[in-house]
Structure 1
Amino acid sequence: MITSGEIKSRLWDGATELRGSMDASRYKDYMLGLMFYKFLSDKTLETFRNTAGLGRISESELVEEYTQNREELGEELDKMIQQALGYFVAPEYLYQKWIKDINTGDFEVQKVTDSLNNFEKTIAVTGDSDDFKGLFSSSTLDLTDTALGSNLNERNKSIKALINLFADLDMVALQKSDVLGDAYEYLIGQFAMESGKKAGEFYTPRQVSEIMAQIAAKNSNIQSIYDPTVGSGSLLLTVGKHLSKEVQKDLSYYGQEKNTATYNLTRMNLLLHGVRPEKMTVRNADTLSHDWPEDPSQANVGVQFDAVVITHHTHSRIGIKLA
């Protein structure tokens, strides 16, 4: 299997080559968004494999089996996968279908747009559905953006190159070995360095995160942690890593983020690190004007958290100074 160092080097070299003159803070949304969609597709296929009791077969054979079974079982299969994951990716919208179309010369950017739009329709109607809604909204992943190319042919070329960057990566296996989450965090950090001042919108430097995490983790009985300006979610995850494995299993992550693109990045980052949907609650809101909602079981009482961590970079943009 590819090592953590190899995947980090490969992905960042690819990002540097492919993004051209596009601002790093903007290109990250496309790269990390499509990387996450590959993860969703791979999780769907793995869940189908387990549900169908299939052994080790090639990915192309697995896609074919999934397609045939869905034709036969329809909504019954959809619901089985949806119940396990909270969503499903239909065979015709799999990341693997994009790759096949690229290889056969049938690829069109519109097919990617259709796939991302369709994902919204496959989310289970549960209390955790907000963890997936709007992840690929056009406000953050606009595939008609001229920054990807001045015309349709150039945009097709840019998106194809980005899709191929993740084509042979088994995201499920990489997640199980913690390589995927590490690589995602690495890319976020690299994009932050490239973005300069804009990095404050989504990234807390690792050294700062480590110090804050060590302080917060001194309380070994933490069951919930909240970041009012959550950014990419890296600070929450760093605190989690400093807790025991047993505590991590039941740790609940809470966060608020004003910027919609960064809010989407937060949810993707937590899910890629194996945080279960029922253990994460992230809101797209401005903490200064909309504080965390009251405890639904106690009127006029705010929700209580075992630990709260925050960096103040967002306040400086609106003229608030912290002593």
Structure 2
Amino acid sequence: MADVKKDQERDELFRRIYKIATDLVHAGHVAEWDFKSYVLGTMFYRYISENFTAYINEGEHAAGNKDFDYAKMPDAEAETAREGLVQEKGFFILPSELFCNVLARADKDDNLNETLERVFNHIESSAASGDAENDFAGLFDDFDVNSKAIGETVAKRNKVLVELLNGVAQMPLFSTDGINPDLFGDAYEYLMGMYAANAGKKGGQYFTPADVSELLARLGTIGKTKINKVYDPACGSGSLLLKVEKVLGKDNIERGFYGQEIDLTTYNLCRINMFLHNIEFDKFSIVREDTLLSPQHWDDQPFELIVSNPPFSVPWEGDKNPLLINDPRFSPAGVLAPASKG
């Protein structure tokens, strides 16, 4: 029965996502190419708002304050807990800037675009004072509230933003136990799969199909029940890393998830994906850089498991850059692959 209920929840979630796509993309409000960034950005905003609120509420309820609700707390009172919460959660959101409260005012907010821009900036800047700075910096860069891609005028853009907020608010991302990270993760994969299929080759380069990811993860973990850490040098949106988490279980990846990605949009998607799968900020390190020319995780080796589906068509300097022969990854071969083979 539990599996049937999960399937029903998942099917209803996918139906809601498809409806948002139909309402916004097919109606011409949002270009198909931009759709995934806006929906994923809104989902991420909802997730961290509810995750943050649940964390605080659980602590207060456990302390005997059963009627406490962080969402109803005055901002001034909440500010007193900012420093401690940044250390614990990696970021901070004022009650008035939570997803639920911005949503409640959205259809009456003539400056909703400015409101969301301010909220996103506040979330990112809050992390700058803690250890999660690199995990949050620029996360909302692809969510351009002032883009003409979602409307020629402020009023039209705000109409689309209201639809986005309402659409994501209606997604059934909860189970009877509260926030369900599995459903957020399922929503991410469904959306990315739909996006990759519809966007053709350019979309496909950002997304390894779920079945392929799971096969690679299972092959890499044969005979293992736990590992120290997993690394993907061309991590894309993180599907391979997170399939390892699905196969082994989060608690059986002792020191976390490491990845490197050169594309800015995909790098942001990967970090969002980590959060939507309930991976805490201190359990992953995703870095934006060219792995071939500038690997960023030398000091984090050795990795017990490395998974990857690299983009083989990426340009490669190869023998045009003789300095690369000094790289300890290439020097044992004594020769560099020609640039034409990148």
TM-score normalised by the chain length of structure 1: 0.85
Deviations 1:199-228 (A, max 9, x none): 233201223212211210115142211111
**Which residue of the partner structure matches residue 167 of structure 1?**
169
* CA–CA separation in structure 1 for the residues paired with 2:16 and 2:185: 15
Deviations 1:214-267 (A, max 9, x none): 21011514221111111110111112212256514x251111111111111101
* CA–CA separation in structure 2 for the residues paired with 1:289 and 1:78: 39
Identity of paired residues, percent? 30
Q: Which of 5, 10, 13 is equivalent to 1:4?
A: 10
For the pair shown, which has the larger CA radius of gyration, 1 or 2?
A: 2
The answer to whether structure 1 residue 39 and structure 2 residue 47 are counterparts is yes
* CA–CA separation in structure 2 for the residues paired with 1:90 and 1:112: 13
Q: 1:73 to 1:145 in 2, by over 3 A?
A: closer
Which structure 1 residue ranges, 4+ long, deviate > 6 Å from structure 2? 319-323
Deviation (angstroms), 1:33: 0.7
Q: Give the unaligned 5+ runs of structure 2.
A: 317-338
Aligned-partner SS, 1:316: coil
Q: Which has the higher contact order (CA 8 A, sep 6+)?
A: 1
**Which residue of the partner structure matches residue 111 of structure 1?**
115
Give 1:1-323 correspondences, 5 Å limit: 3-20=9-26, 21=28, 22-53=30-61, 54-55=65-66, 62-64=70-72, 66-67=73-74, 70-72=75-77, 74=79, 76-104=80-108, 106=110, 108-123=112-127, 125-137=129-141, 140-168=142-170, 175-176=179-180, 178-220=182-224, 221-244=226-249, 246-248=251-253, 250-295=254-299, 303-312=301-310, 314-318=311-315
* CA–CA separation in structure 1 for the residues paired with 2:181 and 2:290: 35
* CA–CA separation in structure 2 for the residues paired with 1:177 and 1:270: 10
* CA–CA separation in structure 2 for the residues paired with 1:224 and 1:25: 33
Deviation (angstroms), 1:35: 0.9
Deviation (angstroms), 1:176: 3.3
Counterpart of 1:94, as a letter, is: L
Number of residue pairs matched?
306
Q: 1:6 to 1:321 in 2, by over 3 A?
A: farther
Deviation (angstroms), 1:154: 1.2
Deviations 1:168-202 (A, max 9, x none): 45757564362221122111111111111112332
Contact 1:256 1:284 in 2 (8 A): yes
Q: 1:270 to 1:130 in 2, by over 3 A?
A: same
Contact 2:181 2:276 in 1 (8 A): no
Deviation (angstroms), 1:163: 0.8
Deviations 1:253-306 (A, max 9, x none): 11111111111110111111121221101001111221234327xxxxxx2211
Q: CA RMSD in A?
A: 2.6
* CA–CA separation in structure 1 for the residues paired with 2:223 and 2:50: 37
Contact 1:23 1:195 in 2 (8 A): no
